[in-house]
Structure 1
Amino acid sequence: MTTSTSREDKLATLRDQRPWDVLIIGGGASGLGAAVDSAARGYQTLLVEARDFASGTSMCSTKLIHGGVRYLRQGDIGMVRNALRERSFLLHNAPHLVHPLAFIIPAWNQIDLLMFAGGLKLYDLLSGWHNLAASQSLNRQEVITALPGLKSAGLCGGIRYWDGQFDDARLAITLMRTATDLGATCLNYLPAIRLLKTNGRVTGAVLHDAETGEELEVTARAIINASGVHADSVRQLDDANALPLLTPSQGIHLVFDADFLPGQQALMIPKTEDGRVMFAIPWQGKVLLGTTDTPRPELAQLNDPQPLAEEIDFLLRTAAGVLTRPPTRADIRSAFAGLRPLIHPNNTDEKNTAALSREHAVLVSPSGLITLTGGKWTTYRLMAEQVIDRAIEVAGLNAAPCPTQTLKLHGCPSGPTSYAYGTDAPQLAALPGHDRLLHPNLPYTEAMVRFAIRHEAARTIEDILTRRTRALFHDATAAEACIERIAGIFAEELNPLPERLATMIAAARCYARRFRLSF
């Protein structure tokens, strides 16, 4: 069963050869944010993604919308202030996906306690009227009560502060739907394989339909490269001699059952053996542990990075030092890795990617290709505003103000809710299978699969397991057990050829193993 906004309908709009105002290459956080901004200003907008929306870095974050406490230590005051401001916009515009979360930093000596208290007061000040709640000092017993899984020996107290938590891939899908609501055309599995030029200026792209092999030419007044860690690859389509801008850094996360850190407050360890912070965060009934910062320049072209054994060992070792019940490899429900598109200054030591800037950059090549790179999820809206402002200048588009500070995202309810579907909930509840779980260890129903296929552009079983639901992030073994059942729903909804369905099942099984390969 298809809808009026089916993939074929969208592809038909590309075949009519109409010129677009803005073509965006890349369907992660930055690209989807740019599509929302562009469409909200009234520009004819096309976004294309080589794989699925948010299929790379944008689904593998620490699930935080935050200013970044550790960036204060690095002196990135401006970035922290901007991020805290953007945090408040997201809490207002997507309360079904972004929620306040309390964090506790424990201290085992009075000097650290005073230092943490001072740093968090600065965090409060930088938040200004966007602050969620004032940070507060906790005595030893208050920390133990709030974090019953924390080791108490030698503990002298701690600091509680507030930040935001979200579901990254679900927010990406919501941005896609918001852009579509505003008139944009967004297509996954449609990589840009060549750029078109006229008199030395980039004027469009050749797109390849990964499902059918069809090639389509599209033209646009502004071409935006928002392809994340693959930004240099797109830049080299424009100029084969373009020097790399990025140094990929890998961050991994491990998922455990909630009883390793009972309660609804997060733990932040401000300094680990490698100089990073470590989070243990309650997330959708599990505990998320992360992250690492491992230079991986050799992975610039890799779509699906794997956690390294030494990264897993590092997180387990760090957790064992602070939790009363040390987690082991046997306790891991899921493990995943993502690559950060870090901007690499020429004078920076590649061996320390933790010191590279999380700032973003908007660059314009001599041919007019606009590249948006760097940044983080929290500031995606600001990044989008700035890149569309630049596109207006480069392409001579009619100027229009940015409305996204107050733009409610698709499904936004009238008040806070823990249900990610927001105002789409009645539509979901009306679908067959709304009362049948895919697996007893997962909170997802058959209706959610149908909804994803009909309304959220899901094209593969992998899309369902990782980005329309978060099954592979919750419990990789349980998720893998759902593959045949999901395939049956795909057969009912899209009636694919038997060989395509068989290929989809095999690919999903192979993909699922990457979430549990290294346990």
Structure 2
Amino acid sequence: MSVQRSESIERIESQDVWDVLIIGGGATGLGSGVDAASRGYSTVLLESADFGQATSSRSTKLAHGGVRYLEQMNFSLVYDALHERGRMRRNAPHLVDDQSFIVPTYSWWETLYYGAGLVVYDLLSGPFSFGFSYPMIRNRVFNHVPGLNPAKVKAGVRYHDGQFDDSRYVMALALTMNDLGGCPVNHMQVVSLIKEEETVRGVVAVDLLTGKEHKIYARSVVNATGVFTDDIRQMDDPSVTPILQPSQGIHLMLDREFCPGEAGILIPKTDDGRVVFVLPWHDKLIIGTTDTEVDAPEMEPRATDAEVDFLLEHVGRFLARKPQRKDVRSVFNGIRPLIKAEGSGATSTLSRDHYLTVSPSGLVTIAGGKWTTYRKMAEDVVNTCAKTAGLPEADCRTSNLPLHGWTRDFSKSDPLRVYGSDTEKLYDLLDEDDCLAELVHSRLPYRKVEVVWAVRSEMAHTLYGVLALRTRALLLDAEATIEAAPEVARLMAAELGLSGDDADAWIDAQLAEFREVAALYVAGNCCEL
């Protein structure tokens, strides 16, 4: 089943009161929407931008337990995340893969140390193991990662984790919520809370595509806005103290030739104590990530020259061919919604456990956490909503709930596999019009059929929504995507039913907006500190 935004708007206008209203369309918000709808609660979700547009689409693309949290002795977080990693693959096998990693070691002591730690990592995963860890001799290390710098390497440890396409997973959640009878809506900004007798009863929201204002009532209202959590909390109570300490993390995209093997590389210790990954993804290499404390969250945070240089310098020590700034195809940047801790130092030490609270007015707030534990966070949210709003008791169903598109019948080499069972429908469109098989750009793996599908079936209404979220073009190659944008805009305008002057005006506006944002993904446009 596809999802049409116009139908969601009609439902908002016809429904008197919803059981659950969720503000925020990232992983946690949409996960909560799926959970609530699957229990039979009438559920509406409002996202001010596009689904997953902020933090949830800018991750390192790993469904993982968090290797570095072992060193912090946070075994409960690692245990929960590893089990949730397994559920992610079980519930969306077309989107979540096993990814092997090599930890290069430079002494036998390191081999023993990291080998022992990764055995614990395996044991904590229990029945959800993705594969066993084991040490390997020097020659085998280079068989798995031929791009590794051979200098001083003694041996290595191989382990397994999960990899996924984050914004495609977000889209699967939105479609699943819709399939279950929920009502997800993008480009709908909450501007105020509706209160009666000092209790939150709903929200006032503005449709950013039409300018129309909507009053939407609900028995329980959830603040799942990620890095913007404190904005909604202060909308509820201007006197509350902020609970978030935002931390910025950037990623660089390189061509696969820098490390052409199938395994990724884990660099376990950088100068600032973080873990850095080099991993294959969509036939490119992701390098990430940094940890830079920021004063306030932004929808489009900008990478700094210092952050780019930091990653290039550290990765350059481990690769046989040291990448230069000119080799960077794209820079993408996200902000982590870390929970503040009294007396904490660097943000890299802050916990990724989640924070759930109910304000005196009844507003349910969920914050913190990590991508991999989104489902468990959502379960806690809906349990809280049911209790505080007096909703009928219903058990959580999401632990073993196949997401939209679920299938095991796919080829990993099929570029359309991320659509799961919907892939057949895209091929039907290709049969109807073979022009849709054309690539949007020679350096990008995406075809025109995916643009058409995004508009018709996935609520895409902006160039960014197609080129950064439904496809990952902007993350793979920023300059190629900017070049592809005019043709993609023309395709979208036609699918949206625009023509003549209306189409020209829409295309011009979208191109201007997109180019401004896309310029931030070009390595040469990073800002100075």
TM-score normalised to the size of structure 1?
0.97
Q: Could you tell me how far 1:250 is from its partner in structure 2?
A: 0.3
| Contact in 1 for aligned 2:54/2:300 (Cα 8 Å) | yes
Q: Could you tell me how far 1:17 is from its partner in structure 2?
A: 4.7
| Counterpart amino acid of residue 402 in structure 2 | K
How many residue pairs match? The answer is 513
Q: Aligned to 2:362, what secondary structure does the other structure show?
A: coil
Q: What corresponds to 1:304 in structure 2?
A: 300
Deviations 1:305-363 (A, max 9, x none): 011111100000001111110000000000011000000023223xx000001111111
User: Distance in 2 between the 1:258 and 1:4 partners?
Assistant: 34
Q: What corresponds to 1:364 in structure 2?
A: 358
**Structure 1 residue 518 corresponds to structure 2 residue 525:** yes
Q: Aligned to 2:318, what secondary structure does the other structure show?
A: coil
User: Distance in 2 between the 1:386 and 1:166 partners?
Assistant: 24
Q: What corresponds to 2:330 in structure 1?
A: 334
**Structure 1 residue 439 corresponds to structure 2 residue 438:** no
* Closer/same/farther in 2, CA of residues 438 and 4 from structure 1, 3 Å limit: closer
Q: Could you tell me how far 1:153 is from its partner in structure 2?
A: 1.8
Q: What corresponds to 1:21 in structure 2?
A: 19
**Structure 1 residue 388 corresponds to structure 2 residue 382:** yes
| Contact in 2 for aligned 1:139/1:156 (Cα 8 Å) | yes
List aligned pairs for 1:68-467, cutoff 5 A: 68-296=66-294, 298-300=295-297, 302-349=298-345, 352-415=346-409, 417-418=411-412, 419-431=417-429, 432=433, 433-467=435-469
User: Distance in 1 between the 2:249 and 2:172 partners?
Assistant: 24
User: Distance in 2 between the 1:443 and 1:39 partners?
Assistant: 35
| Counterpart amino acid of residue 172 in structure 2 | T
| Contact in 1 for aligned 2:2/2:175 (Cα 8 Å) | no
| Counterpart amino acid of residue 342 in structure 1 | L
| Contact in 1 for aligned 2:51/2:186 (Cα 8 Å) | yes
Q: Could you tell me how far 1:212 is from its partner in structure 2?
A: 1.4
Gaps of 5+ in 2: none
User: Distance in 2 between the 1:513 and 1:429 partners?
Assistant: 33
User: Distance in 2 between the 1:199 and 1:8 partners?
Assistant: 33
Of 498, 506, 515, which aligns to 1:500?
506
* Closer/same/farther in 2, CA of residues 87 and 416 from structure 1, 3 Å limit: farther
Q: Could you tell me how far 1:243 is from its partner in structure 2?
A: 0.7
Q: What corresponds to 1:58 in structure 2?
A: 56
User: Distance in 1 between the 2:169 and 2:372 partners?
Assistant: 11
Q: Aligned to 1:279, what secondary structure does the other structure show?
A: strand
| Contact in 2 for aligned 1:96/1:417 (Cα 8 Å) | no
* Closer/same/farther in 2, CA of residues 5 and 133 from structure 1, 3 Å limit: closer
Q: Could you tell me how far 1:492 is from its partner in structure 2?
A: 1.1
| Contact in 2 for aligned 1:372/1:387 (Cα 8 Å) | yes
Of 491, 494, 501, which aligns to 2:493?
491
The RMSD of aligned alpha carbons is 1.2
Q: Could you tell me how far 1:5 is from its partner in structure 2?
A: 4.8
Q: Could you tell me how far 1:34 is from its partner in structure 2?
A: 0.4
| Contact in 1 for aligned 2:48/2:189 (Cα 8 Å) | yes
Q: Could you tell me how far 1:15 is from its partner in structure 2?
A: 1.8
| Counterpart amino acid of residue 338 in structure 1 | G
User: Distance in 2 between the 1:166 and 1:434 partners?
Assistant: 26
List aligned pairs for 1:4-15, cutoff 5 A: 5-15=3-13
User: Distance in 1 between the 2:299 and 2:80 partners?
Assistant: 30
User: Distance in 1 between the 2:32 and 2:2 partners?
Assistant: 24
| Contact in 1 for aligned 2:144/2:263 (Cα 8 Å) | yes
User: Distance in 1 between the 2:141 and 2:261 partners?
Assistant: 12
| Counterpart amino acid of residue 203 in structure 2 | A
Q: Could you tell me how far 1:504 is from its partner in structure 2?
A: 1.0
Q: Could you tell me how far 1:242 is from its partner in structure 2?
A: 1.1
Q: Could you tell me how far 1:495 is from its partner in structure 2?
A: 2.6
| Counterpart amino acid of residue 299 in structure 1 | A
Could you tell which deviates more after superposition, 454-463 or 7-16?
Answer: 7-16
Q: Aligned to 1:381, what secondary structure does the other structure show?
A: helix
Could you tell which deviates more after superposition, 494-503 or 69-78?
Answer: 494-503
| Contact in 1 for aligned 2:3/2:175 (Cα 8 Å) | no
* Closer/same/farther in 2, CA of residues 416 and 160 from structure 1, 3 Å limit: farther
Q: Aligned to 2:227, what secondary structure does the other structure show?
A: helix
Q: Could you tell me how far 1:49 is from its partner in structure 2?
A: 0.3
User: Distance in 2 between the 1:495 and 1:80 partners?
Assistant: 48
Q: Aligned to 1:485, what secondary structure does the other structure show?
A: helix
Q: Aligned to 1:399, what secondary structure does the other structure show?
A: coil
Q: Aligned to 2:398, what secondary structure does the other structure show?
A: coil
| Contact in 1 for aligned 2:4/2:458 (Cα 8 Å) | no
